[in-house]
Amino acid sequence: MISKVRIKFLNSLHLKKFRHEHKAFLVEGNKTVAELLSSGYYVQSLYATASWLQANRELTGNKKIEIFEATAEELKACSTHTQPDEVIAVASIPASGAIPALEKGSLYLALDSINDPGNLGSIIRIADWFGIQHILCSEDCVDAYNPKTVSAAKGSLFRTGITYTNLQQVFAKTALPVYGALLEGENVYKQDLGAKGILLIGNEANGISQALLPYITHPVSIPSFGGAESLNAAMATAILCSEFMRPAAIQP
Amino acid sequence: MISKVRIKFLNSLHLKKFRHEHKAFLVEGNKTVAELLSSGYYVQSLYATASWLQANRELTGNKKIEIFEATAEELKACSTHTQPDEVIAVASIPASGAIPALEKGSLYLALDSINDPGNLGSIIRIADWFGIQHILCSEDCVDAYNPKTVSAAKGSLFRTGITYTNLQQVFAKTALPVYGALLEGENVYKQDLGAKGILLIGNEANGISQALLPYITHPVSIPSFGGAESLNAAMATAILCSEFMRPAAIQP
């Protein structure tokens, strides 16, 4: 059973304010909870149906997690999903550490004011697919622990470092190339991207902010063949990451 | 003013059943309605605030559209958006014509059981960006006139042909290569994609259905560098379309 106080607590984590007050966030659904439990993230508590608990003993066995058996109805009362899942976990938001040392020859993502939680989740999943270890988010990016972001990232959140920071300060200090995704940059297919560096993606509606434009060493664009005015930020990220990584996937 | 009967009618179009009964769908928001009005789609009626109507006379001027001035509150009562827009239009669903002749040297998309309306909208936007004229959807794909699809497609819906059809029958008849996006295909970066053909994308959770696998002439995969188990269907479509089109964007 989940007590009323706990249901209230779980619901409070739907909101950023309370997530950061409690330094905790929700992880919903079988697959993502399974990935959470095999990650380095600290899991505080877990709420699941009797059948889930029985089937997943090996996942929860050796960990100090407060475990609560719950009915489908109770889980529904705490969930953000319209089709509620058999399991919900509460994990700790990791302490925001220092920005990692940005290494030559590696690819990093920098996100400027990404607003949509689903887009941020998709971008995290893309980063993980292409082996990008770290994402730098401007301070006004949407919260990476938003339930919609967690769901869209599908476990990739637990494998990708994310730091909220002042991008201007990062760019001012780095010697790495900064590739800016712009509508009027150079044809990305013709660039030598071998040195990698930082790929900067702008806000969904307004693109990269004025203040960051001077730090772009390589403005790049994805050539258009049709009538669409722009690409969704996550789609552009997917295509650009693919371009950065393809040379490594072609080499024998 | 929007009458109660009309508010009921607009709300009925949130559901597939009534969209297909009335052969009509909703288009919401300034930008997408502007693209609708400059497209070949037949617009039946339009509901907008006084200020929108005043500012957009040139868009509606020469067309036979029933126009209704509406309050923000009335628009909210008809909208599927949480932040309602200044304008909503009702457009006619075009008659589902015959499948176009599939031409050698062109790229087409075939979608097998795409479930998520947002994914379908993103895929339509991608197709339009890369100049793909036509998308073939299996009969169990989500409805392209779902309000979430229309919003995610951002006007690209009006520039892209979409046919719901039996993909098996199409593949059985075509001489074009069929590229299937699979987790265990050939490294797409190493393929010669110059002949183009049909790119087949599978369902979000289950991939390409068993019945369609025998028709794939070229199984392709996007190499993975990290821990993510899979890519979102729309992201994979974006990367694969980019691969098909990059040779054309590199040639002088």
pLDDT in tens, A188-228: 999 999 889 999 999 999 999 999 999 999 999 999 998 89
CA distance B174 to B197: 10
From A131's Cα to the closest Cα of chain B, the distance in A is: 4
> Which of these CATH numbers, 3.30.565.10, 3.30.2350.10, 3.40.1280.10, 2.60.40.10, describes A107-250?
3.40.1280.10
Each as own residue / partner, the long-range contacts of residues A93-96 (CB below 8 Å, 24 or more positions apart, any chain) are A93/A19, A93/A20, A93/A23, A93/A24, A93/A25, A93/A145, A94/A41, A94/A42, A96/A163, A96/A164
Closest chain B CA to residue A159: B227
Cβ-Cβ contacts under 8 Å, B132 against chain A: 226
- Residue of B129, B224, B243 lying closest to A228 (CB–CB): B129
Query: Between chains, do A228 and B156 touch, taking CB under 8 Å as contact?
Result: yes
- Residue of A224, A226, A234 lying closest to B235 (CB–CB): A234
Q: What is the pLDDT of residue A161?
A: 94
CA distance B117 to B65: 28
Q: At what angle do helices B233-250 and A233-250 cross, to 10 degrees?
A: 70
Phi and psi based region of residue A64 (left: phi greater than 0; alpha: psi -120 to 50; beta: remaining): beta
More confidently predicted of A28 and B60: A28
Residue type at position B212:
L
Cα–Cα distances in Å, from A217 out to A133, A244, B11? 22, 16, 49
Query: Between chains, do B129 and A155 touch, taking CB under 8 Å as contact?
Result: no
pLDDT tens readout for residues B67-97: 999 999 999 999 999 887 899 999 999 987 7
- Residue of A223, A228, A234 lying closest to B128 (CB–CB): A228
Query: Between chains, do B189 and A127 touch, taking CB under 8 Å as contact?
Result: no
| Residue carrying the six token digits 């072609």 | A250
Query: Between chains, do B125 and A155 touch, taking CB under 8 Å as contact?
Result: no
Residue A53 near residue A69 (C-beta atoms within 8 A): yes
Coil, helix or strand for A164? strand
> Domain ranges in chain A?
4-92, 107-250
- CATH homologous superfamily for the domain A4-92: Ribosomal protein L30/S12 (3.30.1330.30)
Please give the average per-residue pLDDT across B19-36, as a whole number: 95
pLDDT tens readout for residues A78-104: 999 988 789 999 999 998 777 889 999
